[in-house]
Structure 1
Amino acid sequence: MKKLCALCSGIAVIFFLTGCAGQESGEAASSTPSPTSTGYPSASPSPVAPDPGKSEPSGEASVPANDPDVTPMPVGVAECDGDNLGISIAAQPMASGAGSFFSEITFTNTSGDACLVEGAPSIFNLADSATGAVVGKRAADSGMPEVVQLAPGASAYSTIHFSNAGAYDCATAVADVAKVSPPNWDSSRTITLESPVTVCNTPATYNVSWISATSLF
């Protein structure tokens, strides 16, 4: 009877160990499923015939009409009439210092239609209002060309940069007015400067920037 019980116990242990091993093998196998074959070969993509209604690319880059990085030129907008541009000059003392002084010219569209303005003021002279004499020599224009479209009442800006004439060994003169003309316009207007400026005739001690849609001040 004791031998029979011992035999039964041994058999139970063997079944228990075998069951555990089988369970571990099953879990390992299920963690990495093997692909199931359908018995049919996989389909290969067929080449697509070109659509005769579409032309092949020519190799030249084209820009879509709605590309946000491309600004189309305005169509049907004329150049600003100089007689319809208000002109004012304001000193910028907060931006001045270290031998540099700045003023800003503002051009405002006083007409009822949009117009375009581009370039530096074509005539810009400093003068002594007492004698009418033009003083100072203007240096080359600065800045980048920009076409500005002005809606009625909108403004564009140009910066005047003065260098300290006292830093040069030159004959100086004092100007209290400026004769300004919009780009590509012959007639000028005389604008009183908020603060008289001292300039040299040689070397040139001031320049004027191209007109921009954005004020620097």
Structure 2
Amino acid sequence: MGKIRKTGTFVLSAATLAVLAGCAGAAGSGTNVSGAATPAATPTATSTPEPSASPAPSPSTSSQTGSTGVWKIGPNGECDAGQLEFALESRPMESGMSQFYWNLQLTNTSDTACTLTGYPQVQLVSSITETGIGASAGRDAGAGQAEAVVDMPIGASAYSLLHLRQAGVYDCPIVPVAELAVTPPYWDTSRAVATPNEIDGCDDLTTELVTAGPLTATPRE
């Protein structure tokens, strides 16, 4: 009877060890109590954002700014748009029955020196339609002044002698004129300049009422 108890005790101990070994194996193999396999956790992939490309710098542009706005110097240092102010001055002592004279004055109001050379283009402007009328001014080479480069430091002026004829002596449609359209040399746009007084103009392209002398550093005496 004593041997049987010892053997039973040994059998129970072996069974107990077997159960414990099975539990350890189940835990190691990832099975749950019901025997189904526990799915392994899937690692989450994290993406590293690529650095965005910096925008390419836009090409820089440069311009010079004078006291009257944006302007540029001509290819040989000529005064260009925005550098000049315009004025007209009558010369009453030289006026006659059918003709009269005005000084066209161009003044450098920018902060940079420039030059002027040649003849300005001049055309009468209708006060009714505010458009150019008549033939553009011809060149008056016989005004007693030679064409030359006029240096224009800051504040300096250049002058062109305008010779005008009375419209009433011509057979043409008469219209009132209170402005001239003036285009200095090397410019591609004109500037409206108020006349000293209203005059009559011819509204046709065949009558030349104005001629212009070359630009000079001083007005003609």
Q: Are the counterparts in 2 of residues 156 and 214 from structure 1 also a CA contact under 8 Å?
A: yes
Q: CA deviation at 1:139?
A: 4.2
Residues 156-187 of structure 1 deviation map (CA, whole Å, 9 limit, x = unaligned): 00111111222222332221111112211112
Q: Report what 2:92 is aligned to.
A: 93
> Which residue of structure 2 lines up, in the alignment, with residue 69 of structure 1?
none
Instruction: Indicate the residue corresponding to 1:79 in structure 2.
Output: 78
What is the distance in 2 between the residues matched to 1:130 and 1:167?
21
Residues 116, 102 of structure 1: alpha-carbon distance in 2 compared, 3 angstrom cutoff: same
**8 A contact 2:100–2:163 mirrored in 1:** yes
Partner of 2:140: 142
SS at match of 1:194: strand
Q: 1:172 aligns with which of 168, 174, 178?
A: 174
Structure 1 counterpart SS, 2:139: coil
Q: In the aligned structure 1, how far is the partner of 2:131 from the partner of 2:191?
A: 15
Deviating 4+ runs (over 6 angstroms): none
Counterparts of 2:148 and 2:185 in 1: how far apart (Å)? 12
Task: Provide the residue aligned with 2:128 in structure 1.
Answer: 130
Following the alignment from structure 1 to structure 2, what is the Cα–Cα distance between the partners of residues 111 and 119?
A: 20
After superposition, the C-alpha distances for 1:104-160 in whole angstroms (9 at most, x for unaligned) are: 1101111223211011114x2211233213222234211332110111111000111
Partner amino acid, structure 1, of 2:115 = L
Inter-CA distance 139–115: structure 2 relative to 1 (3 Å threshold): closer
SS of the residue 1:170 aligns to: coil
Moved more, 131-140 or 87-96: 131-140
Unmatched runs of 5 consecutive residues or more in structure 1: 1-76
Do 1:82 and 1:182's aligned partners in 2 also have CA atoms closer than 8 Å? no
Runs of 5+ in structure 2 lacking a partner?
1-75
Q: Which of residues 153, 156, 159 is equivalent to 2:155?
A: 153
CA distance 1:130–1:199, change in 2 (3 Å): closer
> How has the CA–CA distance of structure 1 residues 215 and 184 changed in structure 2, closer, same or farther, with 3 Å as cutoff?
same
* Structure of higher CA gyration radius: 2
Q: Which amino acid aligns with 2:215?
A: I
CA distance in 1, matches of 2:113, 2:147: 19
100 and 196 in structure 1: CA distance in 2 versus 1, 3 angstrom threshold = same
Give TM-score scaled by structure 2 length. 0.58
Q: Which of 193, 196, 202 does residue 194 from structure 1 map onto?
A: 196
TM-score normalised over the length of structure 1 = 0.59
Residues 116 and 148 in structure 1, CA contact (< 8 A), matched pair in contact too: yes
Change over 3 Å in CA distance of 1:139–1:86 after alignment to 2: closer
